[in-house]
Chain A
């Protein structure tokens, strides 16, 4: 064996097992950087300080088992050796706890067990004994080859305190009580003599050794002596806490839950001495230190932090009683059993005994003394009194006031007051202090009549059963809010109708207070009222009046044209314009009402609209109509909208369904991709073409140009920069034939924009400048004439395709938009403005401001695209092909924000475009130039393709 080992020569350090190192390293790194936290709970491992994985029990934290959760040690498991020979008999070996524990656990145990350190051990018993034994053993093992005292043996552990030494010198022996020293002083003296003699004999031996032999000798020498001593041996210490439970050796159920130990002890003591038990609020000690209320039933893992999510939303249920299951008490005291037998309490949980005596003692309070003059009924000071006891003396019968309206009002009011109590009267008096109409409440005109009416009504009501009276009014009084009261009083309609009676006598008699009252009960919110509340034309009272008239007719279904001769002063067109305005306003009001409830929904009306019209595939006008209808019907829930949705091919496969979009490439992302340019283009294109005719006449001073240049760059660069980078090359590779046809138009614009920007960025806008100013730029000049026909041709080419392609995908639709814009460009300026005006009501009805060219047509797609646009700005990595997926991936949470911001953006863009228009003269040039560039690049592209 030994020779075998000698044969090997070892160089360097042995390589550890790879996985071991790797895992440990990983752990170390993770531990160091706190990375462990970021791992999911099920990947995290709890280790002890030596890197061993630990098992986890529910409460104790568990023990680490063996070596890396295996039995034994690093070298494997070695069974306990047992050797016994004739010479050397092996005795029965006693097992102890420590045989079964790991080092760390032993350390734990030692930490728990109390033992005096050698320093403070007055009698130095344990330590000294130990060291003595150690030395002795060593001597036995090592046959001292060297005769004589060995230096290190001489330096013995002098762990004995001086007190012990003195005592020993005085004849005290270990294990004996000091007290009895004097009792046997005679024998003591003898013993000391013997001892001294002995010690002088064996001088060479070290002191500690001698002490041992001394005691041995002494005890063995003198049987009589020892007998004597036996009497006075120090009393043995008995184990205070004998093991009485059924737990394993060394298992402490309360190790990590000291709160329960306390509890148990208190319970035991309560059992034993039936004394007072310390009240122990378990809940507090368990959950006290933690801030929130934690869901009961389980704790959180060792590596998890207390989170908001851990809070118990289902609060109120006390789990403590089921939480602690104490089964560590094997034998119950007999008196406990008896207790259970005698008192059968039903509300005691099985396995639990009711506490025999609790600190909760019922404190009895003597009932409060009732004052002698106490009446057991409460007197209500106010209305009920007045009501139940109608005014004793009937007020004189007074003729009703001359004013019919007032009479009606008084009658209605009196009825109501009699019904609701006097409190109501007080309230309304207070409320209508300034109101002339309610003067009768304050003793003004018609007060006598009111008093009479009220009395009559009360008389009438008094006949009815009092029970109902008692209950009803009080509740109604209680619940009444200010609004309710207002509506009950009919304040709004009252004022309105008053106004009407003033202005037009024809609508007189509408003032019917009692009936109106009942109406307000049933009709909570008539549209008319709502319309009144919202006054869209506040600054123009005449117009507001007309608007109200309009509303009335609209909802009452009268003939509209009849009344319009009133406003004859207006021109035909102005009236038409107003009509549109009114309609829009009415719609807006109606819609506003509908959307008030669901705040979120307000963000999406346009979305809905677009979704509805996306598939109608009819003309734009029709689409708008359906949209409006949709709006109108949307006031009631539930409402349904439909959108396009693309299931992924794999999903369809898993559901065993044919993919509805099989073979069709995703249209949405592509369109959206291309749309970016369009959002900005229509305005510029329009502006450009509109101004292109007049462009020839005007000449600009070059001073103005740079300023405009900057502006344009500001507007367009962020979008087109990416376009310039991404769109140009990648598209041709990917495009399939069909796709190309569809998107050709857009592509061109796209490219045009890109190339425009390229130019601008490259700084050769000077060239275009020069061109505009009429300088000769050789390469561009020949194209100028040819561009227009070319473009037209391209349009006509794309047109039939667009119309024949009925697919509801966005690209197809988009093309239509494009057509529209192109037709717009051909139109004159005023035509455009008229169109805008026409659309303006729609605009308002949409609740959103739209840019003028496409009012509602592709709102949804536009929104999307603008969103996309923004997205792209943020994320330069999303190239055109991965657009769709990236949209999916983007967190939906930020979407709303984005949507808002995109709207903002649109607004800002609009502002810009307005700016363009206002600066028509200067900006036109530049826009034109860029337009031209676009055309040029388009042509280049085509040429390349051909």
Chain B
């Protein structure tokens, strides 16, 4: 029971403003701010701790599916249904660059640690790496070994990890020039990496989260109970790696114990599909976003 007390299950704020579904909610690097994006083609910057909207970014022509902030909070990137990756300036709200090249919708974007490149994952079965340093708008690299839509991408210092509907989580290691493909047999919806960097959590479309050991590709644990069958719902680990969080299509949010895969806590966060969950990098605070157009901030 003490475990549940640590979990952020109390609603601190409701962030309203998006018209239509919110597709992703992300903390920034230090967790003081949050960026959300949604079907209304806007990206919104919030202070989730005070519950106020700071800025709205509009330029996308279609829905915005993912957003990610650089570690220095100066820039962010976004992607969505208009097949482009936008590279924004946070303070001015201007689009610095637009990277075009994906043949389909772009599902996810991430910066690398030094914020020098953006990696985007697209419906066209490819991961594309875009350069932010130079003025080139051509992709630095196209990784197209996936057999189906790439849903999610995660970067480490040396690797690019992508999760795809073809059921694989592929790790591209730049140090040794190898691609490691872990076939899970189920479409991978979302991947997220543990804070110690040793495990990958993959949300699969058979309503299962799978925890993989990254070095061996071993299946460490399976988390079940939620519903994830047809929507892109996020999953993540808490900042202490003690619990696994997953959003469900019925509006619930689940907390599992990392080790014994027990459902430690589940509660109704939204009325409709929970599209995204994001955990604060340091504190016990969580963001959830939903199709009902709200973002909720959860605290202890």
Residues of A within 8 A of B (CB): 40-42, 295-298, 301, 304, 309, 313-314, 316-317, 319, 322-323, 597-598, 600-601, 604, 637-648, 650-652, 654-658, 660-661, 888-889, 891-893, 895-896
Bound complex: CA A888 to CA B140 (Å): 12
What is the minimal beta-carbon distance from B114 to any residue of chain A, in angstroms? 7
* Interfacial residues of chain B within 164-221, with CB under 8 A of chain A in the complex: 166-167, 169, 172-186, 210, 212, 216-219
Query: In the complex, are the beta carbons of B157 and A654 less than 8 A apart?
Result: no
Q: Is B241 an interface residue (CB 8 A)?
A: no
Binds A, one of B24-32, B48-56, B121-129: B121-129
Which listed residue (A40, A643, A651) contacts B181, Cβ 8 A?
Answer: A643
Bound-complex Cα distance A652 to B169 (A)? 21
Q: B116: which A residues are within 8 A, CB to CB?
A: 654-655
The smallest beta-carbon distance between A644 and chain B, in angstroms, is 6
Pick the residue among A598, A650, A660 that contacts B176 (CB under 8 A): A660
Q: Which of B18, B20, B131, B272 has the most CB of A within 10 A?
A: B20
Nearest chain B CB to A321 CB, angstrom units? 12
Instruction: Please indicate the chain A residues that have their CB under 8 angstroms from the CB of B182 in the complex.
Output: 638-640
- Contact (Cβ within 8 A) A892 B126: yes
Extra contacts besides A637-B185, A640-B183, A645-B178 (19): CB < 8 Å = A40-B61, A297-B20, A298-B41, A597-B185, A600-B148, A637-B183, A638-B169, A638-B182, A644-B177, A644-B178, A648-B129, A651-B140, A651-B174, A652-B174, A654-B133, A654-B140, A655-B116, A656-B114, A660-B174
Residues of chain B contacted by A644 (CB below 8 angstroms)? 177-179
Contact B105 A298 (CB under 8 A): no
Does B240 have its Cβ within 8 Å of any Cβ on chain A? no
Nearest residue, chain B, Cβ from A598: B185
* Chain A residue at minimum C-beta to C-beta distance from B129: A651
Contact B144 A297 (CB under 8 A): no
Question: Which one of A597, A645, A889 contacts B172 once the chains associate, using CB atoms below 8 Å?
Answer: A645
Q: Name the distance in Å between B85's Cβ and chain A's nearest Cβ.
A: 13
Of B59, B133, B147, which one neighbours A600 at CB under 8 angstroms?
Answer: B147
The 10 A-B residue pairs with the shortest CB-CB distance, nearest first, are A297-B20, A297-B19, A640-B217, A645-B179, A41-B61, A660-B177, A314-B291, A637-B185, A892-B144, A654-B116
Mark each residue of chain B from 127 to 156: 1 if its CB lies under 8 Å from any CB of chain A, else 0: 001010100000011111111100000000
B residues near A893, Cβ cutoff 8 Å? 103, 124-125
Selected A-B contacts with CB under 8 Å, 16 pairs: A40-B61, A297-B293, A309-B62, A313-B231, A314-B21, A322-B19, A598-B167, A640-B180, A641-B180, A645-B143, A648-B129, A654-B133, A655-B157, A655-B174, A892-B144, A893-B103
A638 and B183 contacting across the interface, CB-CB below 8 Å: yes
A298-B41, A660-B174, A892-B124 as given contacts; A638 in contact with B148, CB under 8 Å: no
Instruction: Indicate if the CB atoms of A888 and B144 lie closer than 8 Å.
Output: yes
Q: Are B172 and A314 in contact (CB under 8 A)?
A: no
A/B pair count, beta carbons within 8 Å:
164
Q: Residue B292 at the A interface, CB < 8 A?
A: yes
Task: Say yes or no for B226: interface residue by CB 8 A criterion.
Answer: no
Cα–Cα, bound, A42→B133 (Å): 24
Contacts of A641 in B (CB 8 A): 180-181, 183
Contacts of B84 in A (CB 8 A): 40
Contact B185 A297 (CB under 8 A): no
Give the docked Cα–Cα distance between A922 and B203 (Å). Answer: 61
Does B117 contact A655, Cβ atoms closer than 8 Å? yes
Residue B9 lies at the interface, judged by CB distance under 8 Å to chain A: no
Q: How far is the CA of A880 from the CA of B30 in the complex (A)?
A: 49
Q: Given A317, A648, A656, which contacts B272 in the complex, CB threshold below 8 Å? A: A317
Q: Collect the chain A residues with CB atoms within 8 Å of residue B41's CB.
A: 298
> B residues within 8 Å of A by Cβ?
18-21, 39-41, 59, 61-63, 81-82, 84, 100, 103, 105, 112, 114, 116-117, 124-126, 129, 131, 133, 140-148, 157-158, 166-167, 169, 172-186, 210, 212, 216-219, 231, 272-273, 291-293
A332 nearest CB across to chain B (Å): 24
Q: Is the CB of B177 within 8 A of A661?
A: yes
| List of A residues within 8 angstroms of B218 by Cβ | 638
Is there an interface contact between B179 and A298, defined as CB atoms closer than 8 Å? no
Q: Are B212 and A319 in contact (CB under 8 A)?
A: no
CA of A896 to CA of B144 in the docked complex: distance in angstroms?
A: 12
Query: Is A647 a contact partner of B20 (Cβ separation < 8 A)?
Result: no
Contacting pair B178 A638 (CB below 8 A): no
B39 contacts A295, C-beta separation under 8 Å: yes
| Cα separation A669 to B56 with both chains bound (whole Å) | 47
Assess whether A660 is in contact with B179, with CB atoms less than 8 Å apart: no
Note all chain A residues with C-beta closer than 8 A to B210. 638
Q: Which A residues are in CB contact (< 8 Å) with B179? A: 642-645
Pick the contact of A639 from B129, B158, B183 — CB < 8 Å? B183
Q: Complex Cα distance A172/B141, Å?
A: 90
Residue contact A600 to B141, C-beta cutoff 8 Å: no
Q: Are B178's CB and A655's CB within 8 A?
A: no
Task: Determine which residue in B39, B84, B157, B292 has the highest number of CB atoms from chain A within 10 A of its CB, and name it.
Answer: B39
Chain A contact residues, majority secondary structure: loop
Q: Closest CB of chain B to A666's CB: distance in Å?
A: 11
A317 to B39, CA, bound (A): 13
Question: How far does the alpha carbon of A613 sit from the alpha carbon of B266 in the complex, in Å?
Answer: 46
Name which residue of chain B comes closest to A594, CB basis. Answer: B185
Chain B residues whose CB sits within 8 angstroms of the CB of A296 once the complex forms: 19-20
Residue among A41, A640, A896 making CB contact with B147, cutoff 8 Å: A896
Chain A residues contacting B292 (CB-CB under 8 Å) are 317
Give the chain B neighbours of A601 by CB distance below 8 A.
167, 183, 185
- Residue among A597, A638, A658 with the highest chain B CB neighbour number at 10 A: A638
Separation of A604 and B181 alpha carbons in the complex (Å)? 12
Cβ of A298 and Cβ of B40 under 8 Å apart? Answer: yes
In the docked arrangement, what's the CA distance between A601 and B167, Å?
9
| Residue of B whose beta carbon sits closest to that of A658 | B175
Given known A297-B293, A600-B147, A637-B185, contact A647–B177 (CB-CB < 8 A): yes
Taking A598-B167, A640-B217, A893-B125 as contacts, is the C-beta distance between A646 and B177 under 8 angstroms? yes
Q: Which residue of A lies closest to B179 (CB)?
A: A645
Considering only CB atoms, which chain A residue lies closest to B291 in the complex? A314
Query: Which of A322, A652, A655, A893: most chain B CB closer than 10 A?
Result: A655
Give Cα A309 to B81, complex, Å: 8
Chain B residues whose C-beta falls within 8 Å of the C-beta of A657 in the assembled complex:
158, 174-175
CA distance A657 to B173 in the complex (A): 11
* CB-nearest residue of chain A to B183: A639
A298 touches B177 (CB 8 A): no
Whether the pair B140, A648 counts as a contact (CB closer than 8 A) is yes
Residue numbers in B under 8 Å from A654 (CB-CB): 112, 114, 116-117, 129, 131, 133, 140
Distance in angstroms between the alpha carbons of A899 and B158 in the assembled complex: 31
Please report the C-alpha to C-alpha distance between residue A598 and residue B157 in the assembled complex, in whole angstroms: 32
- Pairwise interchain contact A298-B20, C-beta atoms closer than 8 A: yes
> How far in angstroms is the closest Cβ of chain A from B197?
15
Task: Give the distance in Å from the alpha carbon of A892 to the alpha carbon of B291 in the complex.
Answer: 32
Q: How far is the CA of A309 from the CA of B19 in the complex (A)?
A: 17
A405 to B251, CA, bound (A): 55
Contacts of B184 in A (CB 8 A): 637-638
A42 to B21, CA, bound (A): 23
Chain A residues within 8 Å of B133, by CB: 654
If the complex has contacts A645-B177, A647-B177, A661-B177, are A655 and B81 also in contact, measured as CB distance less than 8 A? no
Is B141 in contact with A648, judged by CB distance below 8 angstroms?
yes
| Choice from B112, B144, B273 contacting A314 with Cβ under 8 Å | B273
Interface centre among A643, A889, A895 (most CB of B within 10 A): A643
Tell whether, in the assembled complex, residue A647 and residue B172 are in contact, meaning their CB atoms are under 8 Å apart.
Answer: yes
Please state if A295 and B147 are interface contacts (CB–CB under 8 Å). Answer: no
- Closest B residue to A41 using CB positions: B61
A642 and B181 in contact (CB under 8 A), knowing A40-B82, A309-B105?
A: yes
**A-side contacts of B185, CB under 8 Å:** 597-598, 601, 637-638
Would B178 and A651 count as touching, CB distance under 8 A? no
* Whole-angstrom distance between the Cβ of B188 and the nearest chain A Cβ: 10
Write out the residue numbers on chain B whose beta carbons fall within 8 Å of the beta carbon of A648: 129, 140-141
Residues of B contacting A316 with CB < 8 Å? 272
Give A301 to B61 CA distance when docked, in angstroms. Answer: 8
A525 to B: closest C-beta gap in Å? 16
